[in-house]
A and B are shown apart, each in its own frame.
Chain A
């Protein structure tokens, strides 16, 4: 059983608000990832991290930012939410190539 947690699970927020999506894992994995998933679509990698103080942008351009101050914590921040940010955000972690996923945060921006 993978121990990776995301909060909140669901979030409805107005345009222009700043939001932070939390992701934590207790497996000691160095690698962590954020994916964006729209209904019926593939997952798109938006951010990843090799370890503490390491962050990189993924294949899909995103206005969000991430930080990795602690191994277990990889939060994603949107400074000013817009309706185009409405989506599901999945966090994952891995030691090598096998990724373990959190339950996701479904974000709706009105």
Chain B
């Protein structure tokens, strides 16, 4: 069965500092990988996704993520955080090419990011 682990429940970072959020997955084949962000009282917004190809993926809001097959990881990074980056971040994994490919996602438990002045 597929699973997603986000080891860090909560991270505090200073504004302007770099940020890295960890995500490890368990899946039998190469999955589709996603990072979503959720601001308080809002739904989830897609930051970036990896399907295939270049393992370094660029997303919105200055975020990037790197797929490392050998480590089953898909960590999210941002070189310099802004106060508006305070939110909860979810990693998700979905099936790759399947006969039905209906896009059922498994989400991690999320990482809450707090940005201090």
Contacts and interface: CB of A to CB of B under 8 A. Distances in A.
A31 B41 contact: no
Interface residues of B, number: 26
Interface of A is mostly: strand
Contacts, number: 60
A103 interface: yes
B43 A96 contact: no
A18 to B, nearest CB: 25
Interface of B: 4, 9, 32, 34, 36, 41-46, 49, 51, 90, 94-95, 101-105, 107-110, 112
Contacts of A96: 101, 103
Given A40-B9, A97-B32, A97-B94, A45 B41 contact: no
A32 to B, nearest CB: 11
A92 B36 CA distance: 13
